[in-house]
Structure 1
Amino acid sequence: MSDARALVAVFDSPVAGHLLRFAATLDFRVALAEPGLDGIAIDADTDIVVCDHDRPELGPVLREALRTPARWIGVMGSPRHAGPHVEALRSLGVEEADIARVHRPIGLNIGSRTPAEIALATLAGLVADRNDRPGGFAF
Structure 2
Amino acid sequence: MSERLLVAVFASPVADVLRRWAPELGFRVQVLDPDPGRGADITGFAEVDGELDDADVVVTDHHRAELGDVLRDALARDVRWIGVMGNPRHEGPHVAALRALGVADDDIARVHRPIGLDIGSKAPAEIAVSTLAGLLADRNGRPGGFTHAV
Q: TM-score, normalising length from structure 1? A: 0.92
RMSD over equivalenced CA pairs, Å? 1.3
Is 1:10 aligned to residue 9 of structure 2?
Answer: yes
Is 1:52 aligned to residue 61 of structure 2?
Answer: yes
Matches within 5 A, 1:1-139: 3-35=2-34, 36-41=44-49, 42-136=51-145
SS at match of 2:45: coil
Q: TM-score, normalising length from structure 2? A: 0.86
Unmatched 5+ residue regions in structure 1?
Answer: none
AA aligned to 1:30 is V
Counterpart Cα distance in 1 of 2:140 and 2:128: 18
Counterpart Cα distance in 2 of 1:45 and 1:4: 10
Deviation at 1:34, TM superposition (A): 1.1
Counterpart Cα distance in 1 of 2:52 and 2:2: 12
Deviation at 1:81, TM superposition (A): 2.3
Runs (4+) off by over 4 Å: none
Unmatched 5+ residue regions in structure 2?
Answer: 35-43, 146-150
Q: Is the 8 Å Cα contact of residues 7 and 20 (structure 1) preserved in structure 2?
A: no
Q: Which has the higher contact order (CA 8 A, sep 6+)?
A: 1
State, as a whole percentage, how many aligned pairs show the same letter: 64
The total of aligned residue pairs comes to 135
Deviation at 1:10, TM superposition (A): 0.5
Deviations 1:39-69 (A, max 9, x none): 1134211000011101110000000000111
Deviations 1:5-51 (A, max 9, x none): 11000000000111121111111111010123241134211000011
SS at match of 1:54: coil
